[in-house]
Amino acid sequence: MVINVFFCLLSLAFIVPLVLVISISLTDENSLLKNGFRLFPQEFSLKAYKIILDAPDTLLNAYGITILVTVVGTFIGLLFTSLTAYTISRRDYRYRQILTLYVFFTSLFSGGLVPFYILVTQYLHLKDSIWALIVPYLLSPFYILVMKGFMDKLPIEIVESAKIDGANEWRIFFTMVLPLSLPVLVTIGLFISFQYWNDWWLGLLFIDTQNLVPLQLLLYRVMSTIDFLSNNIGTINVSVDLSDFPSLSARMAMAVLAAGPMMIVFPMFQRFFISGLTVGSIKG
């Protein structure tokens, strides 16, 4: 009983802020300034959404870039992660321990921001390209180790029997190992997709072309612009009347538009997510 009450309270702690964000985005700006934030809008208004969607080309382009980066990055990242994890999970692989140590070592240390920037721009020549938003997140040591922990539990006899039947390594991997690893694949796939969807840092570092700006970076720029206009409304000269601009509700409306699709995707894969996370974390 106590555990159930605890998890109900924990669920409310996650749900209430989300409801509050949606409520603020649907509340009139004057009502927010007068009455503060409420879980239910006192004066319903869609003005923030109308302003944001008034010129949807930029928003739709940012959505397209983010969706493309998320789909391509998740697919390639999941493929590379599963290939690496399967290789170091094979007990008959001679360099298994050395490669596992190498993967683990890279999770403890990094080269730093400056070498990372030089690598991407000067050596890989990815600056101002769509691949600058994809390549840096393709492999993560943590995801590799989690997937390795799951694949360690797959019986080696399956591989040996497949070899006796004449199957090569690629066929074993794609037709036997991957189907058996579906829970952990969905789990890691969700982690990778969330990382790509929520990322704005790579765009800030490497993207200057407006047509390649991802959704989260656009959200970051909009928030910064709203903050600047709100804080300097009396000292700047603009041709638009900003006195009635819904700065608070516009911020929350952008947050809802940016987070909405992933809130729909996650419940669809929730049972795979829980199964893959718990089984894959038993042995690392």
* Averaged pLDDT in 10-residue chunks for the chain of 284 residues: 82 82 81 76 79 76 90 94 91 86 84 87 90 92 89 84 84 87 86 88 89 85 70 57 65 77 64 52 42
Stated pTM of the model: 0.78
Task: Name every residue whose Cβ is closer than 8 Å to that of residue 152 and which is 6 or more positions away in sequence.
Answer: 89, 283
The token pair that represents 70 in the structure block: 């998320």
- Contacts (Cβ under 8 Å, ≥6 apart) of 282: 149, 153
Q: Return the structure tokens found at 163.
A: 């070899």
Residues 6 or more apart whose CB falls under 8 angstroms from that of 197 comprise: 66, 70, 215, 216, 261, 262
pLDDT score at 238: 52
- Note the pLDDT of residue 250: 77
Q: What pLDDT, on a 0 to 100 scale, did the predictor assign at position 51?
A: 74
Question: Where in the sequence is the domain holding 207, given as residue range(s)?
Answer: 52-280
Examine the domain organization and report whether 18 and 153 are in the same domain.
no
Q: Give the pLDDT of residue 131.
A: 93
Please name which of 23, 2, 16 lies closest in space to residue 252, comparing C-alpha atoms: 23
Clarify whether residues 253 and 237 are in a common domain: yes
* Residue 84: per-residue pLDDT: 92
Residue listed under structure tokens 């929730």: 270
Residues 6+ apart with CB under 8 A from 267: none
**pLDDT (0 to 100) of residue 13:** 83
Asked whether residue 101 falls in the same domain as residue 237, the answer is yes
153 with 72, same domain? yes
Give me the pLDDT at residue 81, please. 94
Q: How many domains does the chain have?
A: 2
Q: In this predicted structure, what is the pLDDT of residue 196?
A: 92
